[in-house]
Structure formats: C-alpha cells, structure tokens
Amino acid sequence: MQTPRFIGSDIYRGSSYGPRHPLSIPRVPTVIDLCRAMGWLPDRQYVTSPRAKAEALTTWHSPAYIAALQCAETEGHVTAETRTRHHLGTLSNPVFPEMFRRPATAAGGSLLAADLLGKGGAVYNPGGGTHHGMADRAAGFCYLNDPVLALKAFLAQGLTRIAYVDIDAHHCDGVAAAFHGESRVLMISTHEAGRWPFTGALDDRAGGHAINLPLPRDANDSGFAMALHEVILPSLQAMRPQAIVLQCGADAVAEDPLSRLALSNNAHWATVAALRTLGPRLLVLGGGGYNPWTVGRLWAGVWATLNGYDIPDRLPERARNILAALTWSRRPALPPDTLVDTLRDRPREGVIADDLRAAITTLRERRAAWV
C-alpha cells in the first residue's frame, strides 16, 4: 500500500478571515504542528501545496468570478456590483489579504492530490474541503470549491465510479450543484437537519445520484455509527468506487459553535478507517470546524488513522504545549484538560433518535429498490 501523503502550506500561518470571523482561528498549522510533535509527519510524507492557476480553477468556476476574486485581493476592496454578483466582501466571505492565494492554495493541494493518487494510495489535504463555493460566487466561508475541482480531475483521468462522502455539519450544496445528475459521481452527505444552507433534504437525490441523510440535533456517536454502517458503507460497497473523496469537516463535534450535533472525534476517525479499505484511492479533506482545540485534535487524529498510528491516552509535553498555547476569542481561558491533554474524545454514545432511525430505514429501502 502506498505511503499516505500530507499536503500543507505556510500560507495558513497568520492568515485569517479577520478577528471576528469564525475562521480567525489557526487550524491547518495546528494540525501540522501536532503531527510533527507526535513524530507522525516525517519530511518524506509532507508535500507543499502549489497554488492553483486561474486556468485550472475555471474547470468549475467562471473566468469572471476568478478575475473578480483576484482583483479583490489586489485592490483590498470590492465594488457594490462585485459584492452583489459574486458575494465577495460580505460578512461570510470578507476581503482579506490572502483571499485569492489562500483558497487557490487549498485548491492546488486537492488538484495535486488527484494527480498523486493516479497510482492509488491516500492523500490528506486538511486545508481543503471548501464545499459551499459556487461556480460564480463565494458562499459559506468558501471562495473556491476544491472538492469539485478534485472530483473533476478524477473524471478527467477517465475514472467512472467516484464517491464523494461529506460528514461536515453543513450540507455540501456546492458539490451537489456541480454534479447534479452526474451518474459517475455518487454523493453521500450527513449533515445537521435545519442548518444552513438548508439544502440536502432526505428526498433530495441531486438528479438521481446523491444520498442525503440529515442528522437531528444532538445526534451522537451511536446514531452516526448506524448511519455509517447502514447507509454509507453499504452504498460504497455496492458501488465499488475507483476513488473516494472524504470531506471530514470537524464542526459536527459537540464543542463546535456553529452546529448542534453531539459527535465525538471517534466518529470521524471510524469513518476514515472504514473508507481507507473501500477503494484504491482516498483523498481526505478538511472542511468546517470552528473551535481551535477540537479541530486540531480531530484532524491530527485523521492523519494518525490514515497511517495506522496508535493514538495515546495522554499527549507528550511537546504536543500538549501546542494545544495549551492556542487562544480563542470565544473562550479566553484554557478549555477543559481533556481538550489539551488528549487527542481522543470520550465516546458520546446514547439513544438514537426515532427520526434518524426512520430516515436510515427509508434510505435502506430505497437502496434495496435500486438493486
């Protein structure tokens, strides 16, 4: 089996959407630093992400939008017309110094990953996963849509069975729009019901090739495990994908401020471990996640899982110091010791909501009808 590769970049260090934005927190740098502190990220596995060129971005995004995004970064402001047409310079997608270079680097990482996976293996690009970006506008903190670009790159390689699995707390509306009715791409999304962008209903099949499973508020590890084993894994096993793209958004855990789900990071790691064996190519992306401690811990554990490393019960001092040094305007004091001393959350198991059981039954019956 090919050695997994980690794609990162220094552009994420010190780059922020602004002090009051949910993405003011360090995420990718924390993951890199934690993995290096644990001895999990030798130089031979680390790849510096290239910045995608404008031409590569127009396989999904319109040339006018890419030009507007580049101009906004250069000028440091947008016109009212640009704000209205392309949704740049808004509260969600503000103007900031690296507003083109940073997402173009994330996109370049996902495009590079598709190339690296030509012969199989696993690649991790935690800076990716920006699944809300639309062809002609920014949306939901996403200026570009790197999952779409990676999926299109796999299609360009001639692959005909590609699975996109998204376990972010928010529905992947940009990906759904890009591949509506595309029979070569199966999209599976779990996300919080009734949460922005308010898409991805149970009956929404995106033209016939999507499985959407909205999770009720307070959904726990037990409910997610049921979804994983009764919806996600059987669907992938039936498809036999040539490539899997997993968007591993960290905002579905209990401590995240932008969702009301109650998962532990064990749910994400179990998904990574299960998908690792279901296809010859696996690309794992980041995504949402707005608590600096939970994001760093979860995404570092993803890399450990991809490599088969044991996750210790207690972190060594060097790794613990990285988490202890984090700050967050929403929590001026240090968080509970469990978010600093360990990577693994305690399992959050419990009662599975009746509406989730019913939704899973509906999807299981629907899959049986397809067969």
Catalytic residues: 132
DSSP string, 21-41: SGGGS--HHHHHHHHHHTT--
Q: How far is CA 113 from CA 41, 143, 174, 339, in A?
A: 17, 19, 20, 30
Radius of gyration of the chain (CA): 19
Determine contact, residues 95/78, Cβ cutoff 8 Å. yes
How do strand 162-166 and strand 281-285 relate by DSSP bridges?
Answer: unpaired
Residue type, 163: A
How do strand 185-192 and strand 162-166 relate by DSSP bridges?
Answer: parallel
The DSSP letter of residue 39 is T
User: In the block, which residue shows the tokens 């922020």?
Assistant: 16
Residue type, 279: G
- Ranges of H-type helices in 41-162: 54-57, 63-75, 80-86, 101-116, 146-156
